Every structure is written in structure tokens, then in C-alpha cells.
């Protein structure tokens, strides 16, 4: 911990009254921030606020500018400082999943896209830009990243994650936290921890064993704190080991602080403290829930003002001065550490030039290009611009910005920008003077597709918080989006799907052999009924504000796809949960209907060019790390990039290990006709695992090191052993 910041916090704490302290642990937000009575409504003593920019864009013909948002947040901060006896500035917080959620900021690809890039450096650039756009208006805490591991794709929030793999999710989470924190914005990894259950049901109880929790679900959080420098964390809604996570001393104190030495502060998920009483029924009064969470290690109760409840708990003797002081000290220390007392206000005059700058839009384009996966291509793609006279476009999403409906824009309005384009707009402009682009309804598919040289279907689905799925097929109904109390500030935006998309795709494929399906979705789609007849499929996910250009460039060969699946695509929903890093079965893996294998495996993705990997060699270093060397040649017709993936398969270990686990990866760019000599480091920690006594250490074991381009496409391998804490050749 920064001793100077802690010392200043301790000195300030001595001057504060109980009322001031309890307010520092509370939060506030007002939906109608543009009402004349806004300033009279807000409680200026709270230590945490939902930034008012989030609610500033409704009922306007045009959204509020970054400068307007900065001025409104500055005023919000000013009201608090003026009212506080010790002039303590509040932390203004907001979501920042793939863009700062206070307005029309740069909309980067969704996290599932970011993970598909397998490019940590690119994600670090995204995070730095998001941090700058938060800081530009005075948002000093971002309620992100989501580092939950998505191993049941029925979970509606899979789109918010970095996929199913522990290493990939950890690395991406670390990159996001560093990018935010280096801009003076407190990163808040969430949701701590394991917050979905059987059937992909959000926030349902977890019955994961402590071994599974430590091997899988806790690891990305630990990395975010120890390597990413995250100074906050959000407790999840669910329970684990019989206790709601919001009041779990084992999680919030024993593991988080005593074991990991985390020195930041814990916030609740919105309404999570009340859930201990109202949802989990652990206590019979709201004040007892508040006390249980505080004593377990949860510091700030957001978003509502919990002062009166906490004061009642104090008066009843459920919490003590020591409990309160511990939590307040943590929050004040972070406020001092990020320089909030010295610079409580944003420079509103610079906000417009920072937000959606050309540099940030370029990062959005680069990341969109690197995040779109070519799943199937039977000599259809890339389309030849000079050979097309007429192209058909279908699907409601062709006319939508491909940013994803939720956690984009601001409350009550969809993300928009004058210079952004929908896929249909970009395709039409791109082919202007070359080919006619015809958009038609699904009812016209058989006629229109048949008379065109090529046809493209853009799929439509809305996913996100409170929108778990039991059917992974493309929706064929009118979606009704629920808005629940726990997620109301997200203000989920729905879209009506008034056609059977599966049948539409089948009709298009039958009518035109040059058909391409572009999937716009947040988690895997079941494709078994039509994938066999379809010659080309792009998994675009939600590629962000520049995604339309990236999709077009890939369709027409301006850019060779190089993204990989960060999540397994099942053949059918009956295989779910399905992920690559499973542990051995005592018998087998198949079903009556299929062999149990996925439709597309983790790490899979095609290119327009071909690569040859050879001369795989390795060195064991003095620090127990292993350097893998190889040559990768581009023997195809396009410049491109390949993601080299290194997996370990452990046997003869103290405990049963997964069939294979990703331990290192590297994206290598190779020009057409060129060869790159590449080195990839496998760190010593790759050989650590939780032993029989749950001690995380480098235990004995025999390992096959698998080098490939997906979890199933292994190019070469070699053997290593661990004996007496040393890595040796096998």
C-alpha cells in the first residue's frame, strides 16, 4: 500500500464524525439529472455517485456533448465538496464494459470480441482509450472489466466476458485494469465470483468446490489485483458455499485481503447488500444485511443511499466504530492514491477533443478487424468486387450499428454518432459505382437472393443482463426485454425479431450458392440445422462503431481474418456446458446423437492465407520458464497473421488435471511469402497447480507441451517433467 496515501487517509479519518464516515460508505444517483430541482434532490454527503452523465441524454434531440457531461459531473463533485465539513470529493462511477457508459463515447468491440483478437497489446490500447474517455469527463471509477469465466453459453452475459479460458480472461482483464488505472480511473473487476449457475442462470447460487473456484473462477480476479493494479472489486449477487458473496468473510477478507493482500475497496453490485435480506433471506432485517456485509469486508453500498440503514445498524450494535473505520480508511486511501483531492474536476474544455478522437476511432477499427472470426469458407470469400453486379442483403441488423444493444451509449438511448455507419450503409458506399446493393425483407429472400450474384444475411439477437437463453438457435419470435430492479440503470434495449431467422438463412442458402451468414451476437449460436449447406460464415460478435467497415473489408479481402474463438461453439444446446479444458472422464464423452465434440473448438479461426509451422524447438531457462522457438511461413496469397497457441497436458500429477490448458499464445504477423522466426515464453507459473492440499505450487508432474493453432489443431509437441520443483526434459 502507498504509505503516504494511507497516512493522509488516517489523519483525515480522525477528523471525521460518524455521520461523515457512514456517508463515505454510501452512494447516490438521480435519474432526472436535467430537472431544475436536481441539486436540491441529491444528497451531497455521499462518498460515491453514479455519474450524472449516464442519465443526461434522454429527452433530447441530440445527445449531450462530452463537454456538457464534464460540466455536469464537475458540478456534482462541487456540490459534494462544498457540503462536506472536510471537503472530501466523491468518486463518480460508471460502467465501461467496451466504452464509457456516460454517453456517446468511442464504442469499441464487446469483450467477447476483444478476447477473439488474442492480442493483449491491442486490448491494452482499448483500455487506455476507455480510461482517457472516463477521465475526460470526471468518471473516476469504472465498474469493469467482467472477468467471469463463461463456461455455459446460455448465460446472457457471456458477451461481457473474455470467454471460457482462464489464461486468456486473466490476461485481458489485466490489460483492461492497467489501462484504466494508468489514467487515474479505479478499475473494478466483477462479479466476485462465479455468478451464474446451472443452465446459465444469472446470479444463481454457486456450488463450485473450492478447488474449482481456485483453479478457474478466482484466478482472473487475483491476476487483476496483483498484475493489473485494480483498486476495487464488485461483489456478485450469488451465494457460494452457503453464504451470499456480498457478506462472505471467506471471499472478501480471508482470500481477497489476507491471502492476496488486496488493499483497495469492495463495492456491492447494485442492490446486492439488500439481496442478502430480500433475495437470499439470510437475515430478517435490512439493517442486519448491511451489517453482515460491512463486517465481512464489503465497503461501499451502491447505488442507493444506505446511510440511514447503516446508522440504524450502528445504533443497534450490529456494527462498531472499528468496522466503520476499516472500510472508510480503504476508500479514503484510494481517493488519495488516485489524486482525487488534488484534481477533483475534469477539464471540460478538453473533453470534446479527447472523446472519439481520430486516434481512438482508429483503435476501434483495428480491434474490430482483429476480432472477427472466419468460421467457414468453401471458396466463397473473399468476394470479388469486380465480379459482382448485384448483391442482396437481408436481416434487421444490417440497418443497425453493430455495437451491441446493452452497455452501449447511455441510459434510455441507443449509441449513435453522425460519422458511424451500419453494415448496409458501408456496403452500399463501398460498392457504389461497382455493384447494386439490394436490401430486402425476409419474405422476399427466395426471389431477391436468386437474382443476385451474392447474398448476405446479418443475424439479429439481443443478449445481456437478465437475458439468459435456453435455446441457442437464432430467435424466431418477437423479443420482449424485461427490465428488472437489479439492472434498471442499464436500461436494456430490445429489438423485435418478427421472422424465423433459421428458415430465412436456409432459404437464402438454397436460393444462392454464394451466400454468407454474418453472425452478430454475443455468445454462440446453434447452427447445426443449416451450417452443412452454408458455404461461408463470419462470426462478427458485436464489433463496435467501426465494425461495419471491418466486416466489409473482410468480406471483400481488404483484410485477412486472423481472430480465434475464445469460447467453444456446441453442435446443440444439449452439449452445454461445453468447454475445452475439461478433466478426463472415467468412461467416455459421447451422446447417442453425436460424439460430444463441438461444432467449432476453442482457439479455432480461419484465414484467407495459409501458414506452415515447422522447426519447433525449446529451451528450459534457469527460472523454470520455457522458451519455445518455431518458424512460421506464410505460403498463401494474402498478408496475414496466425495465433500460435501452446497448451499443457498434465499426467502423473498429485491431482487430476484438465485434458489440456492454454498456457501461452502469440499473434504473429507474416507477409505473403515471408517466414518469421518466433519465440514464445511459457512462464514457470504454467507448471503450478493446486495440489492435493490446495497449495498452489510447482508440484511434480509429466507434461506434453502441445503447439498448435487451436485447441484441437496441434502441429507439434514435446515432453517435459517437473521433479523436485525443477522443469526438466521428459
Residue 286 has pLDDT above 60, yes or no: yes
For residue 330, the domain's CATH number is 3.20.20.300
Let me know if residue 385 belongs to a domain: yes
Please tell me the pTM assigned to this model. 0.96
**Beta 536-539 vs 373-377: how paired, if at all?**
antiparallel
Which cell numbers hold the place of 109?
468491440
Residues 385 and 501 in one domain: yes
Q: How many CB atoms lie within 10 A of CB 291?
A: 26
Q: What is the pLDDT of residue 587?
A: 87
Residue 1 has pLDDT above 90, yes or no: no
Which three-class secondary structure string do you get for 136-193?
Answer: CCCCCEECCCECCCCCCCCCHHHHHCCCCCHHHHHHHHHHHHHHHHCCCCEECCECEC
Question: Over the stretch 644-698, which tens digit does the pLDDT of each residue have?
Answer: 999 999 999 999 999 999 999 999 999 999 999 999 999 999 999 999 999 999 9
Distance CA 276, CA 244 (A): 6
Q: What is the pLDDT of residue 484?
A: 42
Let me know if residue 115 belongs to a domain: no
Residue 136 has pLDDT above 60, yes or no: yes
Distance CA 167, CA 191 (A): 17
Distance CA 1, CA 577 (A): 40
Distance CA 273, CA 327 (A): 15
Provide mean pLDDT across the span 301-320.
95
Residue 496 has pLDDT above 80, yes or no: no
Let me know if residue 377 belongs to a domain: yes
The DSSP code for 252 is I
Residues 382 and 469 in one domain: yes
Task: Tell me if residue 410 falls in helix, strand or coil.
Answer: strand
Q: What is the pLDDT of residue 697?
A: 97
Let me know if residue 40 belongs to a domain: no
**Cis bond leading into 553, ω under 30°?**
no
The DSSP code for 385 is G
Residues 441 and 567 in one domain: yes
The DSSP code for 591 is -
Residues 385 and 475 in one domain: yes
Provide mean pLDDT across the span 504-512.
98
Let me know if residue 320 belongs to a domain: yes
For residue 492, the domain's CATH number is 3.40.50.1700
CB of 599 closer than 8 Å to CB of 531: yes
Phi/psi-derived region of residue 621, left when phi > 0, alpha when psi is between -120 and 50, beta in every other case: beta
Residue 493 has pLDDT above 70, yes or no: no
| H-only helix segments in 316-357 | 321-337, 348-354
The DSSP code for 251 is I
Residues 378 and 514 in one domain: yes
Counting the structural domains of the chain, the total is 3
**Cis bond leading into 679, ω under 30°?**
no
Residues 283 and 403 in one domain: no
**Cis bond leading into 193, ω under 30°?**
yes
Residues 331 and 371 in one domain: no
The CA-based dihedral angle spanning residues 697, 700, 705, 709, taken in that order and rounded to the nearest 10 degrees:
-40
Let me know if residue 54 belongs to a domain: no
Q: How confident is the model at residue 492 (pLDDT cuts 50, 70, 90)?
A: low
Distance CA 401, CA 552 (A): 14
Q: What is the pLDDT of residue 499?
A: 86
Question: Over the stretch 340-350, which tens digit does the pLDDT of each residue have?
Answer: 999 999 999 99
**Beta 640-651 vs 661-670: how paired, if at all?**
antiparallel
Would you call 321 exposed, middle or buried from its count of C-beta atoms within 10 A (0-12, 13-18, 19+)?
A: exposed
Last-in-domain residue among 551, 575, 599: 575
Residue 669 belongs to what domain range?
A: 611-729
Question: Over the stretch 556-614, which tens digit does the pLDDT of each residue have?
Answer: 999 999 999 999 999 999 999 999 999 999 988 889 898 999 999 999 999 999 999 99
Residues 384 and 453 in one domain: yes
Residues 557 and 698 in one domain: no
Let me know if residue 554 belongs to a domain: yes
Residues 561 and 632 in one domain: no
Residues 6+ apart with CB under 8 A from 209: none
Let me know if residue 66 belongs to a domain: no
Distance CA 72, CA 56 (A): 9
Residues 531 and 642 in one domain: no
Q: How confident is the model at residue 405 (pLDDT cuts 50, 70, 90)?
A: confident
How many residues would you count in the chain?
Answer: 730
Amino acid at each position: 500500500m502507498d504509505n503516504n496515501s494511507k497516512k493522509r487517509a488516517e489523519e483525515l479519518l480522525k477528523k471525521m464524525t460518524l455521520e461523515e464516515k457512514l456517508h463515505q460508505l454510501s452512494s447516490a444517483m438521480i435519474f432526472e439529472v436535467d430537472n431544475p430541482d436536481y441539486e436540491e434532490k441529491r444528497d451531497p454527503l455521499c462518498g460515491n455517485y453514479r455519474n450524472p452523465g449516464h442519465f443526461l441524454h434522454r429527452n433530447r434531440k441530440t445527445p449531450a456533448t462530452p463537454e456538457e457531461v464534464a460540466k455536469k459531473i464537475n458540478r456534482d463533485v462541487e456540490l459534494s465538496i462544498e457540503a462536506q465539513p472536510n471537503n472530501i470529493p466523491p468518486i463518480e462511477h460508471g460502467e465501461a464494459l467496451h466504452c464509457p457508459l456516460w454517453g456517446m463515447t468511442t464504442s469499441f468491440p464487446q469483450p467477447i470480441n476483444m478476447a477473439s483478437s488474442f492480442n493483449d497489446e491491442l486490448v491494452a490500447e482499448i483500455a487506455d482509450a476507455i480510461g482517457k474517455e472516463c477521465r475526460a469527463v470526471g468518471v473516476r471509477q469504472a465498474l469493469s472489466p467482467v472477468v467471469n469465466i463463461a463456461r455455459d453459453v446460455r448465460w446472457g452475459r457471456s458477451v461481457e466476458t473474455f470467454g471460457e479460458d482462464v489464461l486468456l480472461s486473466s490476461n485481458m482483464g489485466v490489460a483492461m485494469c492497467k489501462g484504466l488505472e494508468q489514467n487515474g480511473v479505479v478499475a473494478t473487476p466483477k462479479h466476485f465470483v462465479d455468478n451464474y449457475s446451472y443452465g446459465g442462470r444469472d446470479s444463481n447460487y454457486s456450488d463450485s468446490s473450492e478447488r474449482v473456484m481456485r483453479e478457474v473462477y478466482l484466478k482472473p480476479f487475483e491476476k487483476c489485483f496483483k498484475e493489473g493494479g485494480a483498486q476495487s472489486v464488485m461483489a456478485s449477487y450469488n451465494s457460494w458455499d452457503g453464504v451470499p458473496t456480498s457478506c462472505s468473510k471467506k471471499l472478501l477478507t480471508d482470500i481477497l485481503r489476507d491471502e492476496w493482500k488486496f488493499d483497495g475497496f469492495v463495492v456491492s453490485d447494485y442492490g446486492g447488500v439488500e439481496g442478502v435480506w430480500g433475495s437470499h433471506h439470510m437475515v430478517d432485517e435490512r439493517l442486519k444485511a448491511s451489517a453482515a456485509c460491512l463486517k465481512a469486508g464489503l465497503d461501499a453500498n451502491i447505488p442507493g443511499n444506505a446511510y440511514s440503514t447503516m446508522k440504524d445498524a450502528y445504533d443497534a450494535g450490529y456494527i462498531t466504530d472499528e468496522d466503520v473505520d476499516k472500510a472508510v480508511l480503504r476508500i479514503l486511501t484510494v481517493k488519495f492514491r488516485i489524486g482525487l483531492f488534488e484534481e477533483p474536476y475534469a477539464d471540460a474544455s478538453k473533453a470534446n477533443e479527447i472523446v472519439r478522437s481520430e486516434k481512438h476511432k482508429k483503435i476501434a477499427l483495428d480491434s474490430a478487424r482483429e476480432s472477427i472470426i472466419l468460421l467457414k469458407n468453401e471458396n466463397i470469400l473473399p468476394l470479388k468486387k469486380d465480379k459482382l453486379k448485384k448483391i442482396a442483403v437481408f436481416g434487421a441488423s444490417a440497418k443497425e450499428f453493430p455495437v451491441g444493444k446493452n452497455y452501449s451509449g447511455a441510459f434510455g438511448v441507443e449509441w449513435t454518432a453522425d460519422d458511424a455507419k451500419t453494415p448496409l450503409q458501408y456496403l452500399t458506399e463501398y460498392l457504389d459505382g461497382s455493384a447494386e446493393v439490394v436490401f430486402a425483407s425476409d419474405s422476399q429472400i427466395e426471389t431477391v437472393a436468386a437474382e443476385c450474384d451474392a447474398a448476405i444475411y446479418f443475424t439479429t439477437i439481443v443478449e445481456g443482463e437478465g437475458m439468459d437463453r435456453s435455446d441457442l438457435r437464432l430467435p424466431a419470435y418477437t423479443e420482449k426485454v424485461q427490465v428488472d430492479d437489479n439492472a434498471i440503470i442499464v436500461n436494456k434495449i430490445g429489438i423485435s425479431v418478427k421472422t424465423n431467422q433459421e428458415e430465412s438463412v436456409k432459404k437464402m442458402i438454397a436460393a444462392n450458392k454464394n451466400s454468407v451468414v454474418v453472425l452478430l451476437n454475443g455468445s454462440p449460436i446453434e447452427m447445426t440445422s443449416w451450417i452443412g449447406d452454408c458455404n461461408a460464415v463470419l462470426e462478427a460478435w458485436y464489433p463496435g462503431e467501426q465494425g461495419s467497415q471491418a466486416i466489409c473489408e473482410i468480406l471483400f479481402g481488404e483484410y485477412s481474418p486472423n481472430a480465434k474463438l475464445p469460447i467453444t461453439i456446441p453442435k446443440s444446446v444439449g452439449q452445454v456446458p461445453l468447454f475445452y479444458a475439461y478433466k478426463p472422464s472415467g468412461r467416455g464423452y459421447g451422446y447417442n446423437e453425436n460424439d460430444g465434440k463441438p461444432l467449432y473448438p476453442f482457439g479455432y479461426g480461419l484465414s484467407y492465407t495459409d501458414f506452415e509451422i515447422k522447426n519447433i524447438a525449446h529451451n528450459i531457462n534457469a527460472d523454470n520458464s520455457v522458451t519455445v522457438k518455431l518458424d512460421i511461413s506464410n505460403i498463401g496469397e494474402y498478408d496475414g497473421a496466425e495465433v500460435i497457441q501452446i497448451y499443457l497436458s498434465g499426467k502423473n500429477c498429485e491431482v487430476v488435471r484438465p485434458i489440456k490448458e492454454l498456457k501461452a499464445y502469440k499473434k504473429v504477423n507474416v507477409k505473403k511469402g515471408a517466414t518469421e522466426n518466433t519465440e514464445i515464453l511459457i512462464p514457470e507459473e504454467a507448471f503450478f497447480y493446486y495440489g492435493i492440499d490446495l497449495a498452489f505450487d510447482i508440484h511434480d508432474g509429466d507434461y506434453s507441451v502441445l503447439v498448435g493453432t487451436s485447441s484441437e489443431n496441434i502441429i507439434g509437441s514435446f515432453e517435459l517433467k517437473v521433479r523436485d520443483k525443477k522443469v526438466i526434459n521428459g
